[in-house]
Chain A
């Protein structure tokens, strides 16, 4: 027998909940009786807790719970919270471990299939778009080109410069021991153009534009804007995805080239001020070390990077479900998968170039 009295407000909810739970769970044999006859006032929060407690007790093993003595007002509030509905909830059965593993695996497969389907659809849309160019939204390229390309120029320049600068410093320390400090120019020139320029630029663009595309398309998806676009006769692939990918395909090689130049400048400055080389000597050494292929192979890579960044971010954006949290999840997934694929692509190129002997 539990007796309540006075006026029970939401502020008392914590006390009511813990004291009653302690007294009534596990339920004593013979049932529980709530005596509400002295309750003057009951507000919704406490009523909900009493109803919950009642069903928690009686759902366990069918222990009878009796609520008695409630005044008309109090009874009405209890009814509002479904007091008379009795015990109808069954607690969800725990999911067995094996099922969880299976579900997770199925989800991974689903994701992979979604990605492949998207890839196929984009390719089809691209080629059928080429046949009928009016169906592609070419004008959408310009704003994207500005945001992903031009606006990213300062950070890419700074990145390129610092990478060249740091490389030259690190290299100088080692090479100076052998009196070979002039080879800093070779080191910086080759690593920047072949490897670090394209990769660093792609990472910057992934953080800036990849995340932006995924979040933008994801928000459009969850706010039904993508559906609206379809009902107005626009194919999201041709109107949103392909212009974004194309803009990146144009912008990323250009940005990479800029980063290459800035990297060489960074190396040059170290050469001038820390290694006491003359500008002519440094530039001459760089010219001797670099072949055209070193630069073009880097640009080739940046093309593949652009496709990966554009494709993955748009795919993740369009696959978004589940409101603001979903947008956050997909944006994270997009950035992580892009970074992963950048490394994979880079490794693939390294192996391929090696095999081809170039």
Chain B
């Protein structure tokens, strides 16, 4: 990994203020993402009302909640692909969201400020796995082609896909697509990473390896990670903080250290989640 870290881009270097903000040397703990009283949804259909939380540098921040409660949608808001109905999202180095969305590259100069892995992987179907990874490198770095090629092979090796460099996404399995997408999200060595259910569909061994990878990146390189996952083991192992989204009350019902929440939370919904109880038991407990 360490030989990969000097990936910097030409455009980044031209903009010293951006550089200072996004470098990994900043002290751990300063806020990277601030969500203030954000309401999200579509028209009358509200998913979350006035959600407020911060993600600090060096966090592994997990978004939790039942299926369909809006975790993927929240990620879309964080990366600026959707605009909140009310409130604001702020990312260090990008400033507070104005009327334009900074998720749209045309409102931004320089390379993308974060890496994203979508729930579906979203690999480009018309390119091979290798080309998927080299695309951002060709655009945002001035590395010669052979350096890019070895970088791509290195990244693919990291997720165990070295032999599949020349396969098209339609020729690899669902779990492999996820891994390739993670490698692509890491391509530009971002220091903020968004992952939507990275380990869903992976076998237990790959899932554990992925957890270890995230931990290494987080500890060694100070990578801040925001991820959605349902794997309790992985949550307790890697998460430093979490936010628990609830669909019915359209709000975040708990946040903090997941281990602490498991042991101390009095909210039956949170307890049910961490102790794998069916919903009916949680409802009885509440009644």
Contact = CB atoms under 8 A, between A and B. Distances in A.
Interface of A: 121, 124-125, 128, 216, 219-220, 223-225, 227-235, 237-238
Contacts of A219: 125
B140 interface: yes
Interface string B119-159: 11011111000000001100110000000000000000000
Nearest to B137: A232
A-B CB proximity, top 9 nearest: A228-B122, A224-B122, A233-B112, A231-B116, A235-B105, A232-B136, A235-B106, A224-B118, A233-B105
Contacts of B135: 232, 234
Contacts of B76: 227
B124 A228 contact: yes
Contacts of A232: 112, 135-136, 139, 184, 187-188
B93 interface: no
A223 B125 contact: yes
A238 B120 contact: no
A235 B106 CA distance: 6
Contacts of A121: 106
A125 B106 CA distance: 8
B151 to A, nearest CB: 15
B118 A228 contact: yes
A228 B135 CA distance: 12
Contacts of A223: 120, 122, 125
A233 B187 CA distance: 12
29 contacts: A121-B106, A125-B106, A128-B106, A216-B126, A220-B124, A223-B122, A223-B125, A224-B118, A224-B119, A225-B122, A225-B123, A227-B76, A228-B116, A228-B123, A229-B124, A230-B103, A230-B104, A230-B105, A231-B112, A231-B115, A231-B116, A232-B112, A232-B136, A232-B139, A234-B105, A235-B105, A235-B106, A237-B106, A238-B106
B281 interface: no
Contacts of B123: 225, 228
**A-side interface mostly:** helix
B111 interface: yes
A225 B126 CA distance: 10
B103 A231 contact: yes
Contacts of A229: 124
Contacts of B213: none
Contacts of B187: 232
B53 interface: no
B114 interface: yes
B81 interface: yes
B79 interface: yes
